[in-house]
């Protein structure tokens, strides 16, 4: 199981309970449901979100999307 880390929020967002982080977690939970898997890890520290799923397929798909977006910058 790999952990994905993304600088997603401003540094003020340092808790998974922050409203913006909670909305993102809800989105990740919905994606996990679509893939028939579970969100295993969700942490937020100074705007950086760390998360993982128990599905290598979903993790791979997310990494592909992030790499493609990085290429767009």
Q: Say whether 32 sits in a helix, a strand or coil.
A: helix
What pLDDT score does 69 carry? 81
What pLDDT score does 35 carry? 94
Task: List pLDDT tens digits, range 21-35.
Answer: 999 999 999 999 999
38 vs 29: CA distance, rounded Å: 7
Is it the case that residue 2 has pLDDT exceeding 90?
A: no
Q: What is the pTM of this model?
A: 0.88
What pLDDT score does 73 carry? 52
Q: Phi and psi for 28 in degrees, rounded to 5?
A: -65, -40
Domain parsing of the chain, residue ranges: 4-72
Mean pLDDT of 51-62: 94
Partnered with residue 4 across adjacent β-strands are 51
Residues 6+ apart with CB under 8 A from 15: 21, 44
Mean pLDDT of 5-18: 95
């Amino acid at each position: 199981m790999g952990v994905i880390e993304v600088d997603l929020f401003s540094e003020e967002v340092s808790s998974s309970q922050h409203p913006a982080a909670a909305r993102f977690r809800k989105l990740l939970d919905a994606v996990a449901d679509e893939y028939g898997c579970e969100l295993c890890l969700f942490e937020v520290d100074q705007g950086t979100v760390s998360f993982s799923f128990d599905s290598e397929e979903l993790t791979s798909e997310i990494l592909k999307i992030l790499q493609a977006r990085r290429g767009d910058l």
